[in-house]
Amino acid sequence: MEVTVLVGSQWGDEGKGKIVDILSDRYDFVARYQGGANAGHTVIIGDQQFILHLVPSGILRENVKCVIGNGVVIDPQALLDEIQFLESSGISTKGRLFISHNAHLIMPYHKLLDQINESGANKIGTTGRGIGPCYIDKYARKGIRIVDLLDRNVLKEKIKLNLEEKNNLLKKVYNHAELDVEKIINEYVEFDKQIDQYITDAPSLLNNAILEGQSVLIEGAQGTMLDVDHGTYPFVTSSNPTSGGACTGTGIPPTKISSVFGIVKAYTTRVGNGPFPTELFGDEGEELRKTGAEFGATTGRPRRCGWFDAFLLNYSRMINGIERTAITKLDVLGYLDEIKVCVGYEKNGKKLKSYPTDISQLENVTPVYETLKGWRQDISGARSFNDLPAECKEYLSFISQESGIEIKIISVGPKREQTIEL
Ligand code: IMP
């Protein structure tokens, strides 16, 4: 049975929410494998807009079951707000949403430490949602997991132990007021009462479903270039959004993965700090940002915008093993007379053979561009490939050839119906 991994191919915000929504009615399960409420997946159905941070957007299809995998870090308040929002919008989560017992919990000190770190000299430009500090505790083997909620004594003991250390750090290093242990314990006990019904042994649930012939779409958050191993380190998130993370983040073994689907925006954006070789500045960048409404779904921050980078996409294809892609926001480029596509990088006059992820190199490359003719028209009403202007088809053919990708879905607007399947 089909088990597909869906990844963001650039720096996140490729429009994964919409494509997961389109694809999810072909799957029995949609499972999220990493990240947390730093993600913001926007789906528009009719006149209603849904922005989901933790729950996979498959929840919007009533026959689909959704899993928050063990690789995700869960902010209790963000999760409860989202469940409440879905229920009040008439979308039932009962019996359809499952939370892995091995997922880690974001604690109040994680958010605080994220904000304190970001106020120092080494700013990453994080979302401030406590993601990095939570993964630090996970790998330091001090984390508090969903399963710990099931035994009050274990939970209290773990919170007490963690707070002893964190309060010391807050007081002695950061000169910050201590956090109240009892208040935090009460908050998390309260949280458990509300999410207890969703807690599951998710690896068994998913693997049994696959054995019974059911299909799974494994959904990543963020994007390849934000991967802690393969991205533009240190300007990355603290998890593995690349396809490799799908196995560790859900408990589905590599032998069960059938294919990898990449989501690619028709141009490039990035939120937060770090190198971005094809970035556009001044009026050019501003116009692309405005036309594409490039403002973060989680933080509202303006996204940095730039030309499509085929060299980067080639790297992303290699790291993820991307076979098929969906290209999103193609309609946004309709205002341009000419469109540039980066086909490689040069350093000291020499063309680079492979993608440099060392930022000291990446900060000093010169992108090599090819210029294509723009189509200068609104394509948001196109419903088949033949409705697209010749220059637009040329653009698609050029970027797929340069990046080595096969385009299977073209999105020409945020609505479900603004989608062309090839
Ligand atoms: P963190 O994930 O909040 O720690 O942030 C680390 C980096 O990843 C920052 O540059 C963020 O702007 C970026 N980031 C985190 N989540 C997203 C996302 O969903 N879309 C785009 N960028 C993100």
195-221 confidence digits (pLDDT tens): 999 999 999 999 999 999 999 999 999
Give domain 3-102+197-261's CATH superfamily.
Adenylosuccinate Synthetase, subunit A, domain 1 (3.40.440.10)
Structure confidence by residue, pLDDT tens digits, 28-71: 999 999 999 999 888 888 888 899 999 999 999 999 999 999 99
Instruction: List the CATH code of the domain at 265-320+327-404.
Output: 3.90.170.10
Check if the beta carbon of residue 138 is closer than 8 Å to that of residue 66.
Answer: no
* DSSP structure class, residue 106: P
What stretch(es) of the chain map to CATH 3.90.170.10? 265-320+327-404
Ligand 1, closest atom to CA 129? 3
Q: Kindly write down the DSSP assignment for every residue of 131-184, as one continuous string.
A: HHHHHHHHHTT---BGGGGGSHHHHHHHHHHHHHHHHHIIIIIT--PPP-HHHH
Straight-line distance from the first to the last Cα atom of the chain, in angstroms, rounded to the nearest whole number:
22
Average pLDDT taken over every residue of the chain: 96
Residue 353: CB atoms within 10 A of its CB come to: 8
Q: Percentage of the chain with pLDDT > 90?
A: 94
Nearest CA to ligand 1 atom 21: 12
Spacing, Cα 235 to ligand 1 middle (Å): 9
What is the average pLDDT across 236-245? 98
Phi-psi group of 53: left, alpha or beta (phi > 0 → left; psi -120 to 50 → alpha; rest → beta): alpha
Instruction: List the CATH code of the domain at 104-194.
Output: 1.10.300.10
| Ligand 1 lining (C-beta closer than 6 Å) | 12-13, 38-40, 124-127, 129, 131-132, 221-222, 226, 235, 237-238, 271-272
pLDDT higher than threshold 90 for residue 299:
no
pLDDT higher than threshold 90 for residue 1:
no
Catalytic center residues: 13, 41
pTM exceeds 0.85: yes
* DSSP structure class, residue 364: T
